[in-house]
Structure 1
Amino acid sequence: MIKTFLRTLAASALIVTASAGATMAQDAAMSNEMPMVGGAPMDPQKTIPENASQADNLTTLVAAVKAAGLVETLSGEGPFTVFAPTNAAFEKLPAGTVETLLKPENKDQLTKILTYHVVPAEATSAAAMQMISDDGGEHNVTTVEGGTITLKMDGDKLVIIDESGGGATVTQADVMQSNGVVHVIDTVLMPK
């Protein structure tokens, strides 16, 4: 009876070990399939804010989204296309701009800038490039803020022109999320 119990226990241990090994292998395979942003895997089953909060190069954007009270909105069903400026993009702004925008009294202005980076639809880079081609070289898009951004190509790079005439280049496209897609950009877009 004890031998039978020990054999059953040993068999159970092998099953648990094999199961744990399979789970670790699945986790490793999944992390290999997930795009990395700022050193962190972006899980397509998570929302835009959940993933962005893991990326080391999007900490300023995450702080701004929190200050503007947009976490819940961007965690919603969507779909959204977010043009996500990196920390380096925010650093290009004049000195003190980010600090000023993060103050509670400037929440409306911050919200306006952030929602200017969001389109209320899911548009992959392939879809954007097709729209640009179909429209003869540029395609205008209305943002959640209500303003317009213009999508164009610069060689093989997707660029976004804001209403102020500034431009941003997509440095990492098609980071799929459960509620949309993120395109990482190198410059903060500014509405009028």
Structure 2
Amino acid sequence: MTIKKTLLAALAVGVLSVSTLTLSAQTDPMVGGAAMYPTKTIVENAVNSPIHTTLVAAVKAAGLVDTLNSAGPFTVFAPTNDAFAKLPAGTVDTLVKPENKATLTKILTYHVVAGRISSKELSAWIKKGHGKYEMKTVSGGTLTATKVGGKIMLTDEKGGMATVTIADVFQSNGVIHVIDTVLMPN
């Protein structure tokens, strides 16, 4: 190979590498129209999501900001504002009162599982578990994951169900899976 061809090949590889980096930078998932960056923590990304303002307010009221900013890793099933709006009127306002901090904390930590669980891993575990997989939450409860029509569904201890609407939003300290319903522990 001539020096000219070697230089052209190196230049082509360099351009390809730059193009790949540019594409990677553009593939940060969007949640509610806001980019989620894998270099930021769960809380740092969540505060930028316009569809998670209720969740962020609840996390602050429960005093869980430092926990969800720690190294983790955590898997968070993150209910949207619309998910919280499905609760009976006044529920969120009641839960964020200081006297209800323990209840709020239990509900929020029921949406968190230790470790970084991707949708691919969860799907494999569901298949291996003959159609379902039970996860222990940070609150000590159990969530049951299943697949319905290609979507991951979560069933809480009271029989309520949530659908994962956006999966695999990776963070520096875990992963978020956006869900459409607030899950409730026993």
Give the whole-Å Cα distance in 2 for the aligned partners of 1:55 and 1:45. Answer: 16
TM-score by length of 1: 0.85
Match of 2:80 in 1: 86
1:131 aligns with 2:125: yes
Match of 2:139 in 1: 145
Match of 2:59 in 1: 65
1:182 aligns with 2:181: no
Once the two structures are superposed, the pairs formed by residues 18-167 of structure 1 within 5 Å of their partners are 29=23, 31-167=25-161
Give the whole-Å Cα distance in 2 for the aligned partners of 1:128 and 1:27. Answer: 28
Amino acid corresponding to residue 39 of structure 2 in structure 1: Q
Q: Please list every run of 5 or more consecutive structure 2 residues that lacks an aligned counterpart in the other structure.
A: 1-18
The Cα of 1:28 is off from its aligned counterpart by 6.9
Give the whole-Å Cα distance in 1 for the aligned partners of 2:131 and 2:20. Answer: 42
Match of 2:162 in 1: 168
For residues 73-120 of structure 1, what are the alpha-carbon distances to aligned partners after superposition, in whole Å with 9 as ceiling and x for unaligned? 000111100000000000000000000001010000000000000001
Amino acid corresponding to residue 31 of structure 2 in structure 1: V
TM-score by length of 2: 0.87
**Of the two, which has the highest radius of gyration?**
1
Amino acid corresponding to residue 189 of structure 1 in structure 2: L
When residues 102 and 28 of structure 1 are mapped into structure 2, their CA distance, relative to the original with a 3 A threshold, is farther
When residues 26 and 46 of structure 1 are mapped into structure 2, their CA distance, relative to the original with a 3 A threshold, is farther
SS of the equivalent of 1:106 reads helix
Amino acid corresponding to residue 124 of structure 2 in structure 1: Q
Q: Which moved more, 1:158-167 or 1:29-38?
A: 29-38
Aligned residue-pair number = 168
Give the whole-Å Cα distance in 2 for the aligned partners of 1:74 and 1:27. Answer: 29
For residues 126-163 of structure 1, what are the alpha-carbon distances to aligned partners after superposition, in whole Å with 9 as ceiling and x for unaligned? 00000000010000000000000000001100000000
User: Percent identical across equivalent pairs?
Assistant: 60
Structure 1 contact 84–184 (Cα < 8 Å) conserved: yes
The Cα of 1:26 is off from its aligned counterpart by 10
What is the CA RMSD across the aligned residues, in angstroms? 1.5
Q: Please list every run of 5 or more consecutive structure 1 residues that lacks an aligned counterpart in the other structure.
A: 1-24
The Cα of 1:27 is off from its aligned counterpart by 9.7
After TM superposition, the runs of 4+ consecutive aligned structure 1 residues lying more than 2 A away are: 25-31
SS of the equivalent of 1:176 reads strand
